[in-house]
């Protein structure tokens, strides 16, 4: 990795001699001020102040500032006119991914490593800290969270930003918005710090009791691996290397298996009940992911014209290589719904009891025996929402399509149902917007209304696509 040309470029630009020598001097002066402000018998308090100053310094400098620098790395190349040169050069996607991830925030990493050394030293000086081992755990946890934050911002920024955004404030504001979402885990990184001395947070996963420190580090390492694979695949697409969506499908399956480990299982529980509950939870989570990806991805009209051409000519391999991530996720939603409908008739007992036992809530407020109808209706409502978002993107002014889609979601799922409720029209009217599990008789009606809305929305979208793409 040290011979990475992209990393070398950032080293020459960011790691100037003045910065390299100036940071240790500034940190030393800050430590001197902290210890000079405390008496000799108050050195424990001085070490506590030093620890938290180093912790929040790492969170703000390496976490927030570093994530912003990583997120805007590609934007800066597009704005400076060097991105096309890099895409036509001989650099590999893996080298480009590592170079952007580590190289763009390299100076913040330099500062962060020094702060981590100070933080681990301060942690080991405290009597009840647990020694060097727990101090190294804290440092490793923060390093992994920072890497995940940087990679997440960079990954989502590349997926969601078009080249026209780089020269405007839209790309920068989008980067700041993504940063505010993805860097939140850094501020909760102190969660294991206070509890690391106890065994109160042991994790039960697939019936196994796992130490919370081991589980946190292991989960972060696996997510880091998936994030690096995602960066490589995205840069492969940017370098015009044909990729297939199987990596994303594998990541979704991993998420399903990961979430399934937290579902409680009774000793005498029906295995089909347990499997059906996992499928339903995965189904709901994947539907939410579909909408989030659809709202965040950059929808290129040229890509959709090529998709339609590959579909008509039955070039399935090229079609799968061009499928957007939200489209693959929607296919996974369809597969999960098919598995649920296939498995549901074989499950004995009431779904009300299943959800009531699993979620420790009143079953009547969670689900009723017509669960298969409601889940199918939810899928139809999802198809309606997908069609409406695409309708805005295929309009005459697609630059504001994202804002219009968000306003549409707020109206359909928030404002209009609230108005109907204030007017006391009745809970049955809510079936126009989303499925409501108020009684078993309303489920077929919700499915019929959702189906009609989905058909109308896709009919309108098809007309606009034909006019817009001339296909």
Distance CA 249, CA 316 (A): 17
Domain ranges (residues) in the chain: 1-238
Q: How far is CA 359 from CA 256, 262, 280, in A?
A: 18, 12, 13
Helices (DSSP H) in 83-168: which residue ranges?
83-87, 93-98, 106-125, 132-160
Count Cβ atoms within 10 A of the Cβ of residue 26 and give its class: 0-12 exposed, 13-18 middle, 19 or more buried: exposed
Q: Can you state the percent helix, strand and coil of the chain, rounding each to 5?
A: 75, 0, 20
- Sequence-ordered list of residues with C-beta below 8 angstroms from that of 309, at least 6 positions apart, any chain: 471
Residue 269 φ/ψ, nearest 5 degrees: -75, 150
Distance CA 37, CA 43 (A): 10
Distance CA 330, CA 291 (A): 9
| Contact in structure between 146 and 112 (CB atoms under 8 Å) | yes
Q: pLDDT category, 256, cuts 50, 70, 90?
A: very high
- Higher-confidence residue of 440 and 269: namely 269
Model confidence pLDDT, tens digit, residues 368-389:
456 777 788 889 999 999 998 8
Distance CA 134, CA 159 (A): 37
Model confidence pLDDT, tens digit, residues 20-34:
888 889 888 888 887
Distance CA 35, CA 121 (A): 14
Distance CA 420, CA 424 (A): 6
Residue 246 in this model has a pLDDT that exceeds 80? yes
Distance CA 2, CA 148 (A): 21
Residue 205 φ/ψ, nearest 5 degrees: -135, 120
Model confidence pLDDT, tens digit, residues 166-218:
444 455 555 555 555 555 555 554 555 544 444 446 778 887 888 777 888 88
């Amino acid at each position: 990795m040290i011979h990475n040309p992209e990393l070398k470029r950032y080293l020459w630009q960011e790691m100037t001699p003045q910065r390299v020598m100036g940071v240790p001097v500034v940190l030393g002066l800050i430590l001197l001020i902290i210890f000079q402000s405390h008496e000799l018998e108050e050195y424990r308090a001085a070490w506590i102040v030093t620890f938290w100053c180093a912790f929040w310094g790492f969170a703000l400098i390496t976490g927030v500032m570093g994530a912003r620098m990583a997120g805007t790395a590609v934007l800066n190349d597009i704005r400076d006119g060097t991105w096309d040169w890099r895409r036509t050069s001989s650099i590999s996607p893996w080298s480009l991914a590592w170079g952007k991830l580590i190289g763009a925030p390299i100076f913040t990493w330099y500062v962060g490593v020094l702060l981590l050394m100070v933080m681990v030293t301060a942690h080991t000086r405290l009597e009840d800290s647990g020694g060097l081992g727990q101090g190294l755990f804290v440092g490793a946890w923060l390093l992994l969270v920072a890497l995940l934050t940087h990679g997440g911002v960079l990954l989502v920024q590349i997926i969601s930003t078009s080249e026209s955004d780089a020269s405007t404030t839209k790309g920068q504001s989008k980067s700041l918005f993504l940063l505010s979402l993805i860097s939140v885990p850094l501020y909760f990184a102190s969660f294991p710090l206070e509890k690391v001395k106890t065994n109160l947070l042991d994790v039960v996963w697939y019936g196994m009791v796992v130490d919370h420190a081991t589980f946190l580090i292991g989960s972060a390492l696996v997510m880091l691996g998936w994030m690096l694979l995602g960066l490589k695949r995205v840069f492969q697409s940017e370098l015009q290397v044909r990729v297939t969506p199987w990596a994303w499908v594998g990541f979704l399956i991993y998420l399903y298996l990961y979430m399934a480990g937290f579902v409680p299982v009774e000793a005498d529980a029906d295995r089909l009940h347990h499997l059906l509950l996992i499928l339903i939870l995965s189904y709901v989570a994947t539907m939410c992911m579909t909408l989030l990806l659809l709202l965040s991805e950059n929808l290129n009209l040229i890509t959709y014209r090529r998709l339609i051409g590959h579909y008509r000519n039955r070039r399935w391999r090229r079609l799968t290589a061009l499928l957007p991530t939200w489209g693959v996720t929607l296919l996974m939603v369809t597969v999960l719904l098919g598995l649920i409908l296939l498995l549901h008739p074989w499950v004995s007992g009431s779904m009300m009891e299943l959800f009531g036992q699993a979620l420790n809530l009143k079953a009547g407020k969670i689900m009723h025996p017509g669960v298969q109808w409601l889940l199918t209706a939810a899928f139809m409502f999802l198809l309606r929402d997908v069609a409406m978002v695409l309708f805005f993107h295929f309009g005459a002014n697609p630059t504001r399509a994202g804002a219009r889609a968000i306003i549409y979601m707020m109206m359909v799922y928030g404002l209009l149902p609230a108005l109907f409720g204030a007017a006391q029209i009745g809970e049955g009217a809510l079936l126009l917007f989303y499925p409501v599990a108020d009684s078993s008789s309303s489920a077929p009606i919700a499915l019929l209304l959702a189906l009609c809305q989905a058909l109308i929305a896709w009919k309108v979208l098809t007309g606009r696509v034909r006019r817009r793409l001339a296909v």
